[in-house]
Amino acid sequence: MGIRKFAIAFSTLGLITFSSALAQDATDGANAHQWKMPTKEQMAAWHTQRCNDRYAHAAGRLAFIEAKLNITEAQRPLFDHWRDAVLQNAQSRKSECLAHQFTPGEQHSILERTATMQKRLESRLAALQSEQPALAALYQSLAPDQKTQFDQPHHGFGHGGPMHHHPEANG
C-alpha cells in the first residue's frame, strides 16, 4: 500500500472514530455535561492504580537513568545494587499505599494528618539512608561525563531526593 493510500485509509478511520464519539455524546443527551461522583469502587480502583503507577514510574525512571548514563559492564554490579535498593524501597511504598484503606470523603484531624505526614517522612528518610551506600559506590565508579549527566536536575536527583522531580527547584 502506498503512502497516499495509507494516509487516506488512516484519515477515514479517524473520521469514523470521531463520528462514533459524536454519536455517543448525542445519545447521552443532557447528562453529557454533568459530573457524577465516582463510586467507592471506582475510587478504590483509582487508589490501587495510583499505588501501582508510582512503582512503575520508579522502575521507568531507573531504566531511563541506566540508558542515559550508558552503564558499562564494569559498572553493572554497582548500578544493579543501587537499582535493587531503590526498587525495594519503591515496592515497600507501593505495599504501604495499597494497605491504606482509602475511604472517599474521609476527614482527619490536623493531629492525624501531621502524624501520618511524620510517618511518611520517617519512612522516606530510612529509604534514602538505605540507598545511600549503593548510590555513593555507583557514583564513584562513574566517569566524569557520566557524573555530569547524573548530576543534572532532570534525573530527579537533587531537591526532593531520588526519584522526585521538582521543576521549581531548578531556579
Task: List, for residues 88-114, the tens digit of each pLDDT value.
Answer: 999 999 999 888 876 767 788 999 999
pLDDT category at 155 given cuts 50, 70, 90 is low
Count helices and strands in the chain by DSSP H and E runs: 5, 0
This prediction has a pTM of 0.66
Q: For the chain, what percent of residues have pLDDT higher than 90?
A: 51
For the ranges 38-42, 77-81, 167-171, which has the lowest average pLDDT? 167-171
71 in helix, strand or coil?
A: coil
pLDDT category at 27 given cuts 50, 70, 90 is low
Domain boundaries, the chain: 38-155
